[in-house]
Amino acid sequence: MKVVIDIPEETVNTIKDNAMFAKEVVSSIKWDITNAIVNGTPLPKGHGRLIDYGYVVDAIDDWINAGEYNYTNATYYLRKRVSNVSTIIEEDKESGGEKE
């Protein structure tokens, strides 16, 4: 299962700084991690490649501002721009994620 979680930056840094040397995880870190998992967002099986929505909106705005309101140009332009967006989370290929 893949879950998107939100952990305080301070907790992440503490874990990174002490993970190799700590014999026991302090209770505040256990709480932050448990809370993050309980309140996390499970990703559905078979999800596609997760990308930055803002980048896609900017690509659409750029196309509109260029004055090219032609469906063929829009399809080509947007596919090219979106295919170059950095991937935040890879697609779930094992469960039949997005098709190229």
Model confidence pLDDT, tens digit, residues 12-25: 888 888 766 766 77
Q: Which residues pair with 42 in a beta bridge?
A: 3
Residue 13: domain span: 3-42
pLDDT range class, residue 97, cuts 50, 70, 90: very low
Is residue 68, in this structure, part of any structural domain at all?
yes
Distance CA 18, CA 34 (A): 18
- What residue type is assigned to position 95 of the chain? S
Domains identified in the chain, total number: 2
Distance CA 17, CA 21 (A): 8
Residue 6, class by beta-carbon neighbours within 10 Å (0-12 exposed, 13-18 middle, 19+ buried)? exposed
Same domain assignment for residues 66 and 87: yes
Is residue 82, in this structure, part of any structural domain at all?
yes
Cite the DSSP H helix spans in the chain. 9-18, 27-38, 53-65, 71-83
Q: What does the pLDDT read at residue 38?
A: 94
Same domain assignment for residues 56 and 90: yes
Same domain assignment for residues 25 and 56: no
